[in-house]
Amino acid sequence: MDRITLTGVTAVGHHGVFDFERREGQPFVVDAVLYLDFTEAAQSDDVRDTAHYGEVAQRITEWITGEPLNLIEALAVRIADSLLAEFALQAVDITVHKPQAPIEVPFGDVAVTVHRERVPAAPALSGAQA
């Protein structure tokens, strides 16, 4: 499977379980790996035949800056599900980094990663089988 890798999409969000996180906000960084077939895009050389990574980055930013969530796990799943619904992807890996998480010991980063795949539609039953 072909893939597009988009790293470091950064915006300020208000996600977290603590009141001060929701009030003050903090940076969140998202990495996305988009799995799709490049065959048609390679033949047409047309951005409409691939996942436009500028639009993907914009959508990720909207999720980061949107409605606050308690968990970055929830944010990662929502981003993954929305990208699968909005773009012609077969699968997606989303990593959400929270580099300023309120952790009481020194740390470099905290991140969660989800992998989601497009679920094929169930075949419709014909009138005779229903």
Whole-number Å distance between alpha carbons of 113 and 94:
5
State pTM to two decimals.
0.90
Q: Which of 49, 98, 107, 108 is catalytic?
A: 98
Please report, in tens digits, the pLDDT of each residue of the chain (130 residues total): 999 999 999 999 999 999 999 999 999 999 999 999 999 999 999 999 999 999 999 999 999 999 999 999 999 999 999 999 999 999 999 999 999 999 999 999 999 999 999 987 667 676 555 4
Q: By the 8 A CB rule, do 28 and 101 touch?
A: no
CA nearest 9: which of 47, 48, 62? 62
Whole-number Å distance between alpha carbons of 6 and 62:
15
Work out the angle between the directed axes of helices 53-65 and 72-86 (0-180°, nearest 10).
Answer: 140
Active-site residue flag, 98: yes
